[in-house]
Chain A
Amino acid sequence: MITVNPSNIDSVSESQAALWACSAEKDHDQWTTIIEPHKPWYKLDLPGLWHYRDLILMFVKRDFVALYKQTILGPLWFFLTPLFTTLVLTIVFGTIARIPTDGIPPFLFYLSGTVCWAYFAGCLLETSNTFVANSHIFGKVFFPRLAIPVGAVISNGLKFAIQFGLFLCFLAYFWWKGASVGLTLWVLALPFVVLQMALLSLGCGILVSSMTTRYRDLAHVVAFGVQLWMYATPVVYPLSQIPEQYRNWYALNPMVAVVETFRLGFIGSSAIEFRQVIISAVVTLGLLVWGLVLFSRVERTFMDTV
Chain B
Amino acid sequence: MSTAIKIENLWKQYRLGVIGHQYLVRDVQSWWARVRGKEDPNLIVDQVSSGNGSESNIWALRDLSLEIEKGEALGIIGKNGAGKSTLLKIFSQVTAPTRGSIKIKGRVASLLEVGTGFHPELTGRENVLLNGAILGMSVSDIKKKFDEIVDFSGIEKFIDTPVKRYSSGMYVRLAFAVAAHLDSEILILDEVLSVGDMAFQQRCLDRMQEVAADGRTILFVSHGMGAIRKFCRRVILLQEGRVVEDGPADEAVDRYMDQVYEELGEVCEADTLDDVDRLVSMLAPDPVFRLVSFSIVQDGVPTLSVINGRPLEARIEYEVLQETAGLFVCLGIFASDGSLIFESLHNSESSELPVVQPGRYISTATIPAEWLAPATYGMGVSAAIYGVRACMDAVIKCRLHVAATGRVNQAYPRRRIQGQISPYVPWVTESIVPTVSKGKVREQPHTVNLEDDGAGLMAICQIALRDKEGEPTRVFDLDEEICVSMDYVVRQSISQSMIVLTVSRGGVHFLSTHDTDLNPDLLVLREKGEYVSTVRLPGRLLTPGTYTLTVSAVVGATGEHFHRSYRFVLNFTIRQDLGNDLFKNYNPVRGTLMLTEWKWQTLRRVSPAPTVAVTARVK
Residues on B with C-beta less than 8 A from A61 are: 126, 130
Q: Scan residues 102-145 of chain B and give those whose CB is less than 8 A from a CB of chain A.
A: 102-108, 110, 112-113, 116-117, 119, 121-122, 126, 129-130, 133-136, 138-139
Known: A2-B62, A34-B101, A55-B134. 8 other contacts (CB 8 A): A6-B52, A35-B103, A37-B100, A54-B133, A57-B139, A58-B139, A59-B130, A301-B95
Instruction: Mark contacts of A1-38 with chain B using CB atoms, 8 A cut-off: 1 yes-contact digit, 0 otherwise.
Output: 11111110100110011001000100000111111111
Residues of A in contact with B (beta carbons under 8 Å apart): 1-7, 9, 12-13, 16-17, 20, 24, 30-38, 52, 54-55, 57-59, 61-62, 65-66, 69-70, 136-143, 214-215, 300-301, 303-305
Instruction: Mark contacts of B1-34 with chain A using CB atoms, 8 A cut-off: 1 yes-contact digit, 0 otherwise.
Output: 0000010100001110001101010010000000
- Nearest first, the 8 closest Cβ-Cβ pairs linking A and B are A142-B93, A300-B96, A55-B133, A3-B51, A35-B102, A33-B104, A66-B121, A31-B103
Residues on A with C-beta less than 8 A from B105 are: 30-32
Residues of B in contact with A (beta carbons under 8 Å apart): 6, 8, 13-15, 19-20, 22, 24, 27, 40, 43, 47-48, 51-54, 57, 62-63, 89-108, 110, 112-113, 116-117, 119, 121-122, 126, 129-130, 133-136, 138-139, 162
CB distance from A81 to the nearest CB of B (A): 20
CB distance from B55 to the nearest CB of A (A): 12
Contact B51 A140 (CB under 8 A): no
Measured in the bound complex, the distance between the Cα atoms of B277 and A180 in whole Å is: 96
Contact A62 B90 (CB under 8 A): no
Measured in the bound complex, the distance between the Cα atoms of B101 and A33 in whole Å is: 10
CB distance from A252 to the nearest CB of B (A): 23
Residues on B with C-beta less than 8 A from A69 are: 121, 162
Contact A9 B22 (CB under 8 A): no
Contact A143 B101 (CB under 8 A): no
Can you name 30 A-B residue pairings with CB atoms under 8 Å?
A: A2-B62, A6-B57, A7-B40, A7-B43, A7-B47, A9-B13, A31-B104, A32-B105, A34-B102, A34-B104, A35-B103, A36-B96, A37-B101, A38-B96, A55-B133, A58-B139, A59-B130, A61-B126, A62-B119, A136-B116, A139-B89, A140-B92, A141-B92, A141-B94, A141-B116, A141-B134, A214-B19, A304-B15, A304-B19, A305-B19
Contact B47 A140 (CB under 8 A): no
Residues on A with C-beta less than 8 A from B97 are: 35-37
Contact A141 B139 (CB under 8 A): no
By CB atoms of chain A within 10 A, which of B101, B116, B122, B126 has the most?
B101
Measured in the bound complex, the distance between the Cα atoms of B14 and A6 in whole Å is: 12
CB distance from B542 to the nearest CB of A (A): 54
Contact B95 A62 (CB under 8 A): no
User: B110 touches which one: A17, A55, A141, A304 (CB < 8 A)?
Assistant: A141
Residues on A with C-beta less than 8 A from B43 are: 7
Measured in the bound complex, the distance between the Cα atoms of B14 and A16 in whole Å is: 19
Measured in the bound complex, the distance between the Cα atoms of B100 and A9 in whole Å is: 12
CB-CB under 8 A for A142 and B52, given A9-B98, A54-B138, A215-B22: no
User: B126 touches which one: A13, A57, A62 (CB < 8 A)?
Assistant: A62
Measured in the bound complex, the distance between the Cα atoms of B116 and A286 in whole Å is: 35
CB distance from A42 to the nearest CB of B (A): 17
Measured in the bound complex, the distance between the Cα atoms of B93 and A57 in whole Å is: 22
By CB atoms of chain B within 10 A, which of A5, A16, A141, A143 has the most?
A141
CB distance from B25 to the nearest CB of A (A): 11
CB-CB under 8 A for A36 and B101, given A65-B126, A138-B94, A142-B110: yes
Contact A33 B108 (CB under 8 A): yes
Residue of B nearest to A302 (CB): B95
Residues on B with C-beta less than 8 A from A300 are: 95-96
Measured in the bound complex, the distance between the Cα atoms of B126 and A61 in whole Å is: 9
CB-CB under 8 A for A65 and B47, given A34-B101, A214-B22: no
Contact B139 A20 (CB under 8 A): no
CB distance from B481 to the nearest CB of A (A): 64
CB distance from B92 to the nearest CB of A (A): 5
Measured in the bound complex, the distance between the Cα atoms of B96 and A3 in whole Å is: 21
